[in-house]
A = this chain, B = another copy of it.
Amino acid sequence: MEQVKVILADNEIPRQWYNILPDMPTPMHPPLHPGTGKPVEPQDLAAVFPMNLIEQEVSTQSWIDIPEAVLEKYLLWRPTPLCRARNFEKLLDAPVKIYYKNEGVSAPGSHKPNTAIPQAYYNKVFGIRRISTETGAGQWGSALSMACRMFGLQCRVFMVRISYDQKPYRRMMMSTWGAECIPSPSDFTRAGRRILSDDPESPGSLGIAISEAIEDAVGDENARYSLGSVLNHVLLHQTIIGLEAHRQFEKIGEYPDVVMGCAGGGSNFAGLSLPFVRDKIHGREVSIIAAEPASCPTLTRGPFAYDFGDTAMTTPLLPMYTLGHGFIPASIHAGGLRYHGMAPIVSHLVKEGIVQAQAYDQIETFTAGLKWAQSEGFIPAPETNHVIAAVVREAELARQEGKEKVILFNWSGHGIIDLPAYDAFLSGKLTQHALTDEEIREALKSIEGYPKP
A contact set with B: CB distance below 8 Å? 1-5, 7, 9-11, 68, 71-73, 75-77, 83, 86-87, 105-109, 113, 146, 149-150, 168-169, 172-173, 175-178, 370, 373-379, 416-417, 419-420, 422-423, 426
Is A379 touching B416 in the complex (CB atoms < 8 A)? no
State in angstroms the CA–CA spacing of A379 and B417 once bound together.
Answer: 14
A417 to chain B, nearest CB (A): 7
Give the complex CA separation of A105 and B104 in angstroms. Answer: 9
> Of B1, B7, B77, B87, which is within 8 A of A7 by CB?
B7
CB–CB A75/B5 < 8 A: yes
* Chain B residues within an 8 Å CB radius of A178: 374
How distant is the Cα of A146 from the Cα of B377 in the complex, in angstroms?
Answer: 6
Is the Cβ of B3 less than 8 Å from the Cβ of A87?
no
Q: Are A373 and B177 in contact (CB under 8 A)?
A: yes
Partner of A150 from B175, B176, B377 at Cβ < 8 Å: B377
Query: Out of B3, B105, B417, which one reaches A105, CB within 8 Å?
Result: B105
Q: Which B residue's beta carbon lies closest to that of A71?
A: B1
Measured CA separation A419–B416 after assembly (Å): 12
30 sample A-B contacts, Cβ–Cβ < 8 Å, listed by A number? A1-B10, A1-B72, A2-B72, A3-B9, A4-B10, A5-B9, A7-B7, A72-B86, A73-B377, A76-B378, A77-B377, A105-B105, A107-B373, A107-B376, A107-B379, A108-B377, A113-B377, A150-B374, A150-B377, A168-B423, A169-B416, A173-B379, A173-B419, A176-B370, A176-B374, A176-B379, A176-B419, A177-B374, A178-B374, A416-B416
Beyond A107-B377, A173-B379, A176-B379, whether A68 also contacts B1 by CB under 8 A is yes
How far is B149's CA from A7's CA once the two chains are assembled, in angstroms? 27
Check B4–A420 contact: CB distance below 8 A.
Answer: no
Residue of B nearest to A72 (CB): B1
State in angstroms the CA–CA spacing of A254 and B125 once bound together. Answer: 36
Known: A2-B72, A107-B373. 13 other contacts (CB 8 A): A1-B10, A1-B71, A3-B11, A4-B10, A4-B76, A7-B9, A107-B378, A108-B377, A109-B416, A168-B419, A168-B423, A172-B423, A173-B419
